[in-house]
Amino acid sequence: MSDVVLTERVGNVLVATLNRPEARNALSPALIDDLSDVLRSADADPEVRAVVVTGAGTVFCAGMDLKAFTKGGKFDGLVWFFREGIATPVVAALNGSAMGGGFELMLACDLVVAAEGAKLGMSEVKRGLFAAGGGTTLASRAPLSVALEMGLTGDPVTAAQAREFGLVNRVVPADQVLTEALALASRIAENGPLGVAMTKKLMRERRWAEPDEITSVFRSTDATEGARAFAERRPPVWTGA
């Protein structure tokens, strides 16, 4: 098991914890690569139906490890996740602030539960950089004026403001973040995995389903099981097929 990304299974939910609290969970090349491996493995495991990503300590993620950056470290290990994501739903549990690359990691997740005191922002311009991990797409998620102010000033917003902009689903006390995120992920994990994956895909791509996509889900074993379980008044037993 990696020491910079800790994993734990809670039912059908995988919890991945960024574990560099002494560095405010800054994204070092090792952390990036290990988190990438965890996410790929989770997506390939039919028993994992939702993922929660959180941080150790009081900060979710402070962004790129600038010390490693000055030494020429490689930081492209999560580009695929920022761009493409995974079929399995991912909930970000912001135990604290998410800045720079940490904010972009949050944006790559599907749902967000944030601590009341958390601050969220794209601080890259303050270091002569820009948000190359997806932060520049923020205007597709928030008003353009908000995205430009965050991107051009590098100043953060509060968790409450982020919720007003539609970037955060829940804002709760810090000691309730993981519990709330797990409850949300568990509710997702109770549903048919094929239907969940297709819903996420189509919503992310903002489009209607193609006929073959409809057939692949509506004629699946899980679709039959879902209908039968409803008629028999029992919980469904999903196989993902």
Mean pLDDT by 10 residues, the chain (241 residues): 91 98 96 97 97 98 90 88 96 98 97 98 95 94 96 98 97 98 98 97 96 97 96 95 93
Residue 205 among the catalytic residues: no
Residue 104 among the catalytic residues: yes
Q: Round to whole Å and give the CA distance between 52 and 8.
A: 10
Selection from 195, 170, 194, 192 nearest residue 182 by Cα: 170
Whether the Cβ atoms of residue 152 and residue 125 lie closer than 8 Å to each other: yes
What is residue 1's predicted lDDT score, i.e. its pLDDT? Answer: 58
| Ranges of CATH 3.90.226.10 domains, the chain | 5-189
Of the residues 8, 22, 124, 213, only one is catalytic, namely: 124
What is residue 72's predicted lDDT score, i.e. its pLDDT? Answer: 81
Of the residues 22, 84, 104, 180, only one is catalytic, namely: 104
Strand order in the sheet with 90-94: 5-10, 13-18, 50-55, 90-94, 111-115, 170-172
Selection from 185, 190, 196 nearest residue 220 by Cα: 196
What is residue 73's predicted lDDT score, i.e. its pLDDT? Answer: 78
Q: Which CATH superfamily is domain 5-189 in?
A: 2-enoyl-CoA Hydratase; Chain A, domain 1 (3.90.226.10)
232: exposed, middle or buried (C-beta count within 10 Å: 0-12, 13-18, 19+)? exposed
